[in-house]
Structure 1
Amino acid sequence: MTLVAEKPAPAPVRAPERAPYWTMRRRDELAGWLMVAPQLAGIVAFVVVPLGLVVWYSLHEWNVLAGTFDFVGGANYEQLGSDPRLGPALRATGLFSIGLVVLNLSLALFLAVLLNQKLRGTVVFRTLFFSPVVVTLVAWTIVWGFLLQDNGGVNGFLDLLGIDGPNWLRGDTTAMIAVIVVQLFKGVGLNMVLFLAALQGVPAELYEAARIDGASAWARFRRVTVPLISPTILLTSILTVVGSLQVFAQIAVLTQGGPGTSTTVLVYYLYQQAFQFHHFGYGATISLLLFIIVLALTVLQWRMRKRWVFHES
């Protein structure tokens, strides 16, 4: 009898192992999203949602006193295009912004260059110039309101010099100048500190090389200092422009938009329409116009940086 060897049973086929879901890459992505989640939540809650509500309100006429909320479509935008008071408000906003930005950046850079010198007492002067930044805005403005009155401290000082000072807050031209100066002294310290930090980061070897080549002080400032601190100039210009377009407390405390409409900037005009005249829908429309202006100027400055900011070409 012949014995036939039995064939070994085939090995069971194992199902391919599934790759683990929580790979190192996915863990890193989750960690990144968790880190930015608070910031994203804040942006959604305080930027995206309010902006969407403003657009929604601009399509309605909301009368809080009467308790009505009526859809009007583009009526508020049509009113914005034909509003005779919008032009003066835009003109006042432009005058304030141009005056403040030019004076603030120029004075801040001048003070930073002076305080960057190795002189005695610079620490004290830095503190004096920066201290208004930490003072409450309303308190600062109220004090200046008293100083700028017809019989206030400013005219009292001018009287000692034999100068008859004007009623600063009651003249069309002087009121705007007064508001600009008040905001200038309030915020120049912040830009000064930013410029000072940038100046201290400029290598001294570059100044020494320029001096050996015979460059004058002005040439060293124009060819060495300005290019190397140009990123800080860009930052301060964007912050100052945006801040100048959002001015409100100084106008509300010092001039209430007057005399006439000479200091009625766009933010104060928005406040008047929404909270004094209770035209909340039209106020929302003006706020969208302000948003577009701020966005356009910020994008314009950012796109132009390649023409003059160092290392951005």
Structure 2
Amino acid sequence: MTLAARLARPASTIPFWNVRRRDHLVGYLFIAPQLVGSALFVLLPLAMVGWYSLNEWNVLAGSFEFAGLGNYARLAADVRLREALTATGVFSVGLVTLNLALALLLAVLLNQRLRGTALFRTLFFSPVLVSLVAWTIVWQFLLQPSGGVNSVLGAAGLDGPNWLRGEGTAMLSVIVVQVLKNVGLNMVLFLAALQGVPKQLYEAAELDGAGAWRRFLRITMPLISPTVLLTSIITVVGSLQVFAQIAVLTQGGPGTSTTVLVYYLYQQAFQFHRFGYGATLSVLLFAIVGALTLLQWRMRRRWVFHEA
């Protein structure tokens, strides 16, 4: 049948399973496994957490009672929650600042045409591939009073502190361990962005008398700003979800100086068996992550190149 004859045919005689509907069905079948997985393992757990946050559930006592907004009202009066939020803020600011700054510095250095850069790229990226728990356990031994770090300081004539039990060094130790673990990932992302900057722009700026620092600020940073946005979002979200490092290195101590929000959530839900309040803390964490991500995304128009 010709195309003209098909178009002239009444709508009632057009078959239901035409080419368009078959194409749509094939597309839906392809994405069905992902949709089902997201519904079962993302949307459903989120809905259950929201429901549990409205209840007081004590596994040991075998009680499950509807509490309404009681758990949310408890957030405002929880002094330990304020301490956990403060520790989370300190950890996130320290981690994001050191990680992004060090990753950008390493990427700039390793972007030079020098001998041995491939080896150093591998060395700096290799910790990303190591198991997080194994990495943290190794650093736990290194940071002991008689561990490898203090042994090196002792050989230089310096007395090292008790890194993981000192009020002023515990948080710093956790931040440094986490930075060394994941800085290679951001370094690779920055390195890929740097290699995409046209060399002609640097040559033209150099001919105009621009120095290295001015070329970096006026050419490099604007052109890699989309990657800076990506790495900042990834790093901020990761810093708010830290748990294994705290659990292995400091267990939230000394005192509550390293009890970040996720570890405090774990304590409430799985140590004190207050699952309702633990679910409420999960909702709070979700809200904080979502708000910070949205804020970064909205602010991109002010400093990300091509987004104005």
Normalized against structure 1, the TM-score is what? 0.93
1:286-297 mapped onto 2 (5 Å cutoff): 286-297=281-292
Aligned length: 300
Which one of 37, 40, 43 corresponds to residue 42 of structure 1? Answer: 37
For 1:217 and 1:174, locate their aligned partners in 2 and report how far apart those are by CA, in whole Å. 36
> What is the Cα deviation at residue 68 of structure 1?
1.7
Kindly provide the CA deviation profile for residues 8-37 of structure 1, in whole angstroms up to 9, marking residues without a partner as x: xxxxxx987522223333333323323322
Kindly provide the CA deviation profile for residues 132-154 of structure 1, in whole angstroms up to 9, marking residues without a partner as x: 00000000000000010111110
Matching residue of 1:83: 78
1:32-111 mapped onto 2 (5 Å cutoff): 32-111=27-106
Kindly provide the CA deviation profile for residues 163-211 of structure 1, in whole angstroms up to 9, marking residues without a partner as x: 1111001111200000000000000000000111111111111111111
1:146-157 mapped onto 2 (5 Å cutoff): 146-157=141-152
Which one of 197, 218, 224 corresponds to residue 223 of structure 1? Answer: 218
SS for the counterpart of 1:85 is: helix
Structure whose CA Rg is larger: 1
The reply on whether 1:19 has 2:3 as its aligned counterpart is no
Of 203-212 and 105-114, deviating more is 203-212
Letter in 1 for 2:104: L
Letter in 2 for 1:35: F
1:89-238 mapped onto 2 (5 Å cutoff): 89-238=84-233
Of 132-141 and 159-168, deviating more is 159-168
Identity value in percent: 73
Of 38-47 and 270-279, deviating more is 38-47
SS for the counterpart of 2:168 is: helix
> What is the Cα deviation at residue 245 of structure 1?
0.1
Kindly provide the CA deviation profile for residues 284-307 of structure 1, in whole angstroms up to 9, marking residues without a partner as x: 000100000000000000111111
Matching residue of 1:279: 274
For 1:174 and 1:123, locate their aligned partners in 2 and report how far apart those are by CA, in whole Å. 34
For 1:105 and 1:32, locate their aligned partners in 2 and report how far apart those are by CA, in whole Å. 40
> What is the Cα deviation at residue 43 of structure 1?
1.9
Letter in 2 for 1:188: V
SS for the counterpart of 1:170 is: coil
CA RMSD of aligned residues (A): 1.3
Matching residue of 2:3: none
1:243-258 mapped onto 2 (5 Å cutoff): 243-258=238-253
For 2:117 and 2:245, locate their aligned partners in 1 and report how far apart those are by CA, in whole Å. 30
Q: Unmatched 5+ residue regions in structure 2?
A: 1-8
